[in-house]
Structure formats: structure tokens, C-alpha cells
Amino acid sequence: MLRPALSRFHLVAILALLSGALALAFHNAVLFVVVLAVFLTISGLGVAFPQLSFFGKFICRGKNSQRCVALTFDDGPDENSTPMLLDLLKKEEIETTFFCVGERVAANPELTARIAREGHLLGNHSYGHSNFTNFFSSVRLKTELSQAQTAIEKISGGAPKFFRPPMGLSNPHIFRAARELGLIVIGWSARGLDTQISDPQRIVSRIARRLEPGAIILLHDGNIPAARLVPTVKLLLATLRERGYDVVRLDKMIK
């Protein structure tokens, strides 16, 4: 079995280790502190920004040969908002991707089945969506992802091929667990910060500034009131049409 290529994290770590050793060899404490600070800063940015693909390959955009974007929703299914979102998507004849939390899938089997039945793609968003996911060991992460895979496959009939880490945070363990389960790690190129911003116009305007062919758009259906989610998606779809973009399912845009 081929070993995975060195990630940017590994290359930076090797460079930091060599530089730190050199600083110690010359008894240069200032240089050592600078090297350590730079390494920690770069690593921190790598944790928070999927677009850097620091610890492994994040797919944050699809093919840009056509004017298409992929719309993705995280943290559901949510019985208080997902049904109304599905009604809108069905009316608009739009297929999207739902990165589902395993616990919510198990608690809402009929809603999960409806998502799959209406042509949407289901992705893995961990089983418990813990705020401490990024501190889990590789073994625990693999268990989390496996549980979510099982829950989704049991209801939809197919195991997810794509995984988005909770909050988009990552580290080497995330990629090791995903690799062992054959999962492709997905990020985004445009998001509206809809968990923090309540005004649909502001959410869509933020996404619109980052639109480009092949964009992967991040929104949430979990824990977002339907009264805000549905108007936001309506406005976004209208904006995409005005700019000549088609919405396609994630797997169709990156295959």
C-alpha cells in the first residue's frame, strides 16, 4: 500500500524542526522562539482555513469549465427547518448536498430518507458534531465517522463518499480517519456565515462576493429557523440565476 504524500504540515514541521535545532545549536533563544511562534501561527491558520489544505487535501471548489456552483447544507437534518427547505428545493428543481450529523439522522429517519429520495446527496458531518472533534484521536475520529456512515447508509441505502469536518476544522487525525474510510474531505469557497448573521440579504451578499465557476457554497439547515433559512435560499437562488449560474450536485461538479 502506497504511503500518502507528505502534507504541507509535515513539510513545515520538518523545516521548523531543522530551524529550531540550528537555533539551539547556536544557543540563539530568540531565533528558537521565532521559529516556534511562526510554526504555531501557520498551524493555527491551517486548522481554521480549509482552503490552505495544510494537513491534507481539502476540495474547496469544483471544475470551473462551466458556470456551475454546488450548494451544500450542514448540521441537519433538522425537523424544524429542513422540510421547508426541501419544499423550496423541490419547487425550484434544485439538487444539493446535505452534510448530515449522524445523531440527527438516527433521530429523523423519515426526513433523512426524504432528502435522499428527492435526489439530494448525503455527506458525512460526523456522528455527534462535538465542539471538541478536532481534539479527538484518530481512533475516536474513525469511530465517529464510521457511526455516521452506518446511520446514513442504513436509511438512504448508500454510504457517503464525502466528509466535511465539524466547523471545517482539521488536523492530521481528521485526514487519517477519512482516508482509512475512503472519504473525500470537502471544504468550501463561499459561505454566508449564516450561523452568525441573521439578515438574508447580508448572508447572500457575502456569498455573492465570492462567487466563481466551480464554487462550493456553505450554508446550514441545522439550528437555523425556517423563517430565515427559506428566504435566504430563495434570495440566493435568484442571485445565482441573475448571474447565470446553474446549481448542480456536489458529486456532479467535482467528478
Which residues are the active-site residues?
74, 220
- Residue 223 gets the label, from left (phi > 0), alpha (psi -120 to 50) or beta, of left
8-state DSSP, 175: H
Q: What is the dihedral of CA 42, 43, 44, 48, to 10 degrees?
A: 100
Type of residue at 151? A
- Residue 244 gets the label, from left (phi > 0), alpha (psi -120 to 50) or beta, of left
Query: Could you give the C-alpha distances from 15 to 20, 33, 172, in angstroms and in order?
Result: 8, 14, 17
Query: Do 61 and 216 touch, CB atoms closer than 8 A?
Result: yes
